[in-house]
């Protein structure tokens, strides 16, 4: 079972993402969720078994692009998908995928599945 961490400070978007992945019809995901960058970093440090992170860019305590850089310092191989209500330019090198809100949840789900499959040893 793949383990996801979702970092989103909009409760409606967080609920949408968590609900989609917890109740995914074909894949099984264990999903953690937080609304701040600091709690996300603490979660990643405490539990290095996350397979993928989805973060919004506009967190109250840090930009998602800055959080991405901090995640890569502690877990360089962890795929990170960035979502944002506004364009992000330039995208940091190494971002696994970017989706502008409103995004297609099915398309995001396909990206998550693909990125996790790429991460798995063959």
CATH code of residue 94: 3.40.50.2300
Mind listing the pLDDT tens digit for each residue in 39-54?
Answer: 999 999 999 999 999 9
Please enumerate in sequence order all residues whose Cβ is within 8 A of that of 23, keeping only pairs 6 or more positions apart, or say none.
Answer: none
Per-residue pLDDT of the chain (122 residues; tens, 9 = 90+): 999 999 999 999 999 999 999 999 899 999 999 999 999 999 999 999 999 999 999 998 899 999 999 999 999 999 999 999 999 988 999 999 999 999 999 999 999 999 999 986 65
DSSP secondary structure code for residue 91 in this structure: P
| Pairing, β 97-100 against β 80-84 | parallel
- Report residue 70 as tokens: 């901090």
Residue 91: C-alpha distances to residues 20, 21, 41, 57, 95 (Å) = 26, 25, 20, 11, 7
Q: Contact at 8 Å (CB) between 17 and 34?
A: no
**Structural domain tally of the chain?**
1
Domain, as residue range, for 14: 2-119
Q: Contact at 8 Å (CB) between 33 and 6?
A: yes
- What pLDDT is recorded for position 74? 93
Q: Would you call 118 helix, strand, or coil by DSSP? A: helix
> In the chain, helix, strand, coil percent, each to 5?
40, 25, 40
């Amino acid at each position: 079972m793949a383990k996801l961490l979702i970092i989103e400070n909009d409760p409606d978007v967080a609920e949408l993402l968590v609900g989609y992945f917890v109740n995914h019809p074909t894949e099984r995901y264990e999903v953690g969720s937080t609304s701040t960058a600091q709690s996300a970093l603490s979660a990643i440090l405490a539990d290095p078994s996350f397979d993928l992170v989805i973060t919004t860019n506009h967190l109250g305590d840090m930009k998602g692009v800055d959080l991405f850089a901090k995640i890569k310092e502690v877990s360089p191989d962890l795929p990170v998908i960035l979502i944002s209500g506004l364009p992000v330019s330039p995208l940091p090198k190494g971002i696994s995928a970017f989706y502008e809100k409103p995004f297609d949840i099915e398309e995001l789900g396909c990206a998550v599945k693909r990125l996790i499959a790429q991460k798995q040893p063959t």
